[in-house]
A and B are shown apart, each in its own frame.
Chain A
Amino acid sequence: MATDKNNLIVYCEYEDGKVADVSLELLTKGRALADKLGIKLEAVVAGDNLKDIEKQIFPYGVDRIYKVEDSRLYPYTSLPHSSILINLFKEIEPRIAFMGATSIGRDLGPRVSSALHSGLTADCTSLEIGDHKDAKGNEYKDLLLQIRPAFGGNIVATIVNPEHRPQMATVREGVMKKEVKDSNYVGEVVDLDVSKYTNKEDFVVEVIDRNIEKSKVNLKGSPIIVAGGYGMGSKENFGMLEQLADVLGGEVGATRAAVDAGWADHDRQIGQTGVTVRPKLYIACGVSGQIQHIAGMQDSSIIISINTDPNAPINSIADYVITGKVEDVVPKLIKYYKKNSK
């Protein structure tokens, strides 16, 4: 067992023989922060058929991988995975722990943080190292600054865990960048015995049936996104956005308000509680520009806003502003694209 403690650890999700992108993104961020703190980067992965999984993980600069292999650990259920992390963390006392803000990480993280009485900040959009001085004058050096939008995205809060370890955070897929550090990087593999980290009662929840489809929507990878907001007014009007996205070779995205209204599916939601995107072209149609939405698309190369309100907040970050009704403008854009392309 490892002798050094207080490192930075990332819980890696694993499906179909592949480590999840969000985990690799967190490893990339973790490497940078670990370098800053002069500590090691570790990963923990629990599941079945984990042979050679380290080959996917080491290149991100991982110094040590904890592997727990057992057929009962896949598919994921809350209790055994929580027990593994709780017991492992008690042993190795990580300084910082990250997991994806996915249905797994958001199920697992709170349970682990409750058992360890450590703090957990959900859906961070930025993670930094910095000092903190509290109201009583106590000073803390090199804390993890966990930055996240709060209050429906209308404010941004910086959260710290001064006294408790590990400092835990979840981050959504696509928020951090994924970057191989060194394809030849090799660390240590530590195999953990599942029976030492879980108990029989942890396996009481059975997964009866599982129907996981590869998502049909690929917002993150699409170079062009046509997004609709509440200003679209109806599900029918969303059909027009599909036409524009089709002719331009892009995908349709939506704001939370439009998804809540039932005009678009959940997997098309862009923003702090949806997907973060960085397309070449973002056409915002009837999008007012709530901060939680802007947080998920502000890095787009070119932003066009089509809105009846000339003062819509989104216009302030747009490159092109068209003031008018979406149902007037979009058909014209389709027409002139067809006329001028090829």
Chain B
Amino acid sequence: MSLNIIVLAKQVPDTRNVGKDAMKEDGTINRAALPAIFNPEDLNALEQALKLKDMYPGTKVTLLTMGPGRAAEIIREGLYRGADDGIVLSDRAFAGADTLATSYALSMACRKIGKYDLIIGGRQAIDGDTAQVGPQIAEKLGLPQVTYAEDIISVEDGKALIKRRIESGVETVKAPLPLVVTVNGSADECRPRNARNVQKYKYAASPSEIGTDEEKKAFIEKRPYLAIGEWNTQTVEADLSQCGLAGSPTKVKGIENVVFTAKDARRVENNDEELEDLIKELIANHTIG
């Protein structure tokens, strides 16, 4: 038995370590200064797909990402780790999409791919933390969903056995294919790059990366496996009224930088006397003890 798996991935700014150099003078974030990375939980999702490919030979893993042309970087990263194929969904008409418009676009791309037994993505992306796109794609494709997955244990008789990690424990569910699964950060880490795959795919490129470079174009035409697909609204036959800002029911009313009211902090010197005084004070006012 072999499976057709789509892995949903997003290239995100690394918001986990916003250093001082990433802040502009007016206190806003300089997004350009943040490295663009493969969304961490999407890597966990890729690992689940690659594990199933190991278990069920002949399985095909296709990466799907929506973003600007440079998002082809994470497709290459996925190819290095063992994915078979990748598509970048890119169009100016997608700009300003909220989660609903995003899931619409991605669901149309899944339809265009056509064959899928499993659509696997990370639970959420670190630049939004909403965890909405997976379930919304499931709804748009009319598929069941299993969220918070930690391990896709097996696929047998058209059903996947999946362990979920929820707030206070573990749940095991059996769900029929085709199915959407979102994977938690607590799942197995993604395997590293494979040296042979890196050799094979390092010149893989999308049409917008190739641009007008005729030499590159000819090189890739002779090696079709290096062609990273690039689709737009027309390719996936998307209804423009459901894309981007126009297709987004939620609107951003305003954005503020967070400013906390500074307190008048008391400096406590790091010496025995002052630390003991602090403890005495906290005991005296019944904060501790």
Contact = CB atoms under 8 A, between A and B. Distances in A.
B110 interface: no
Chain A interface category by residue count: 35 or more
A75 B249 CA distance: 31
Interface string B174-200: 111000000001100000000000000
B267 A78 contact: no
Where chain A touches its partner, the secondary structure class is: mixed
A107 B135 contact: yes
B251 A110 contact: no
Interface stretch (B64-72, B86-94, B141-149, B221-229): B141-149
A264 to B, nearest CB: 13
A110 B275 contact: no
B174 A208 contact: yes
A320 B169 contact: no
Given A75-B171, A103-B148, A319-B265, A328 B270 contact: yes
B145 A107 contact: yes
A93 to B, nearest CB: 15
B95 interface: no
A205 B132 contact: no
B123 to A, nearest CB: 9
Interface in A181-214: 204-214
Contact of A160 (B250, B261, B275): B250
Contacts of B256: 155-158
B136 A329 contact: no
Contacts, number: 254
Contact of A115 (B28, B139, B171, B258): B139
B147 A257 contact: no
Contacts of A127: none
A120 B252 contact: no
A163 B272 CA distance: 62
Contacts of A149: 258
Contacts of A210: 169-172
A204 B146 CA distance: 12
A7 interface: no
B168 A207 contact: no
Contacts of A317: 260-263
Given A321-B266, A321-B268, A119 B98 contact: yes
Interface in A103-126: 103, 106-111, 113-115, 117-123
A162 B262 CA distance: 35
A243 interface: no
A221 to B, nearest CB: 15
B29 interface: yes
A322 B253 contact: no
Where chain B touches its partner, the secondary structure class is: mixed
Given A155-B29, A321-B267, A322-B275, A132 B253 contact: yes
B147 A103 contact: yes
A256 B15 CA distance: 12
A137 B64 CA distance: 38
Interface string B260-289: 111101111110100110111011000111
Contact of A319 (B249, B266, B280): B266
Interface stretch (A61-69, A234-242, A330-338): A330-338
Nearest to A146: B250
Interface of A: 75, 77-79, 82, 102-103, 106-111, 113-115, 117-123, 132, 134, 145-146, 149-164, 204-215, 224, 248-249, 256-257, 260, 266-267, 272-273, 280-281, 290-291, 294-295, 298, 301-305, 315-324, 328-329, 332-333, 336-337, 339-342
A288 to B, nearest CB: 10
A320 B266 contact: yes
Given A212-B169, A321-B265, A117 B275 contact: no
Contacts of A321: 265-268
B48 interface: no
7 contacts: A114-B139, A119-B250, A156-B256, A163-B249, A260-B16, A260-B185, A332-B276
B131 interface: yes
Contact of B251 (A117, A134, A328): A134
